């Protein structure tokens, strides 16, 4: 029986493949402010899948993960012919089913985005007091675990640790925080070796047979802020190897952030694709041309 589509999200399509597994296919869609643009970003799905697979390998000693395989031959050996789904080679991950935590598990090492906006208002980040005088793109004293809700409709909401504990329990929040901080430190050190700053990133965690595991995408340009270390000037918005420049372009348009979005110019599409590929190749030291699927 071919995989059955369960959900088509902003970035991924999720298929049921049996009682214990799912097929996740990363698309070439791109979103900003929870709105999906019409224009595809070439190679984006392959980058997200290849980069996640790399981090699954690199972090097995920190936490187990849900990955079964990204090898197209292995996946088709389990599921059969997938041609009805289109060319998914290099964009598909066969994964174990997990009971997902209803939290976005964010770790922030630098002040940016919504965290900076909150800090300007109240001197806090997700309710946690921060030293005075910090600027945009300043390094925080220590990386902080800053969960948010997972909204079924609308935007996720930033919450403090006490609110997170009300959702999943204090023990789970503590365990998730320890795991995510360890993952962030590992990834930040690897990024630093490549001349990049991992300003923040979002992890997805779930449980398989009661054990906490890493799921979904891991430290990708869609889920992280990656800055060139030699170009960061605190107090200004850094250049980025992620989709922040696309968000900045969208913010500058006469658009109310509701569908339909403005069409992306070709130069924005091409630059976004190039940044994603560069992020993968710089962080991993690998060539995307060597990954599964068409180049």
Residue 3 lies in a domain: no
pLDDT above 90: percentage of residues in the chain: 92
Q: Is the Cβ–Cβ distance between 73 and 116 less than 8 Å?
A: no
Residue 201 lies in a domain: yes
Contacts of 207 (CB under 8 A, 6+ apart): 98, 99, 101, 213
Q: Is the Cβ–Cβ distance between 277 and 220 less than 8 Å?
A: no
Distance CA 267, CA 265 (A): 5
Report pLDDT for 294: 81
Residue 73 lies in a domain: no
**Rg of the chain taking only CA atoms, in angstroms:** 19
Residue 208 structural domain: 100-248
CB atoms within 10 A of CB 184: 24
Contacts of 24 (CB under 8 A, 6+ apart): 12, 13, 14, 15, 92, 93, 95, 216
Residue 236 lies in a domain: yes
Contacts of 230 (CB under 8 A, 6+ apart): 195
Distance CA 126, CA 128 (A): 6
Report pLDDT for 112: 96
Q: Is the Cβ–Cβ distance between 11 and 204 less than 8 Å?
A: no
pLDDT digits (tens, 9 = 90+) for 170-208: 999 999 999 999 999 999 999 999 999 999 999 999 999
In terms of Cα–Cα distance, which of 106, 204, 109 is closest to 158?
Answer: 106
pLDDT digits (tens, 9 = 90+) for 218-272: 999 999 999 999 999 999 999 999 988 999 999 999 999 999 999 999 999 999 9
Predicted structure pTM score: 0.95
Residue 231 lies in a domain: yes
Report pLDDT for 72: 97
Segment 105-128 shows an average pLDDT of 96
**Which 8-state DSSP code applies to residue 85?**
G
Report pLDDT for 154: 54
Local confidence band at 155 (pLDDT 50, 70, 90 cut-offs): low
Report pLDDT for 150: 81
Report pLDDT for 151: 65
The CATH number of residue 141's host domain is 3.30.470.20
Mean pLDDT for the chain?
95
Residue 41 lies in a domain: no
Residue 72 lies in a domain: no
Question: CA angle, corner 152, sides to 110 and 97, nearest 5?
Answer: 85
Residue 27 lies in a domain: no
- Asked if pLDDT for residue 214 goes beyond 90, the answer is yes
Report pLDDT for 295: 59
Distance CA 241, CA 278 (A): 7
Local confidence band at 34 (pLDDT 50, 70, 90 cut-offs): confident
Segment 64-85 shows an average pLDDT of 96
- Asked if pLDDT for residue 152 goes beyond 70, the answer is no
**Beta strand spans in 162-240 (E):** 196-208, 211-215, 224-228
Q: Is the Cβ–Cβ distance between 136 and 234 less than 8 Å?
A: yes
- Strands 211-215 and 64-65 come out as parallel
How many structural domains comprise the chain? Answer: 1
């Amino acid at each position: 029986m071919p995989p059955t589509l369960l959900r088509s999200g902003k970035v991924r399509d999720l298929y049921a493949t049996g009682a214990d597994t799912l097929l996740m296919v990363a698309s070439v869609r791109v979103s900003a402010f929870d709105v999906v643009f019409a224009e595809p970003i070439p190679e984006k799905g392959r980058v997200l899948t290849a980069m996640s697979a790399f981090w699954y390998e690199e972090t097995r000693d920190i936490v187990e993960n849900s990955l079964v395989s990204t090898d197209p031959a292995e996946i088709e050996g389990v599921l059969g012919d997938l041609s009805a789904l289109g060319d998914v080679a290099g964009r598909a991950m066969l994964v174990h089913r997990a009971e997902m935590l209803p939290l976005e598990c964010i770790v922030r090492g630098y002040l940016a985005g919504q965290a900076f906006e909150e800090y300007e208002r109240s001197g806090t980040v997700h309710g946690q007091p921060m030293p005075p005088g910090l600027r945009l793109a300043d390094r925080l004293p220590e990386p902080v675990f800053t969960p948010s809700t997972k909204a079924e409709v609308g935007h996720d909401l930033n919450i403090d640790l006490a609110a997170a504990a009300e959702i999943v329990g204090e023990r789970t929040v503590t365990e998730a925080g320890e795991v995510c901080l360890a993952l962030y430190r590992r990834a930040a050190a690897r990024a630093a070796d490549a001349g990049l700053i991992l300003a923040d990133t979002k992890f997805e965690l779930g449980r398989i047979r009661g054990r906490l595991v890493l799921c979904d995408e891991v430290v990708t340009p869609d889920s992280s802020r990656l800055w060139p270390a030699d170009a960061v000037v605190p107090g200004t918005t850094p250049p980025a190897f992620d989709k922040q420049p696309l968000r900045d372009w969208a913010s500058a348009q006469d658009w109310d952030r509701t569908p339909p979005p403005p069409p992306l110019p070709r130069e924005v599409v091409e630059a976004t694709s190039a940044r994603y590929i560069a992020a993968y190749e710089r962080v991993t030291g690998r060539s995307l041309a060597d990954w599964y699927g068409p180049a």
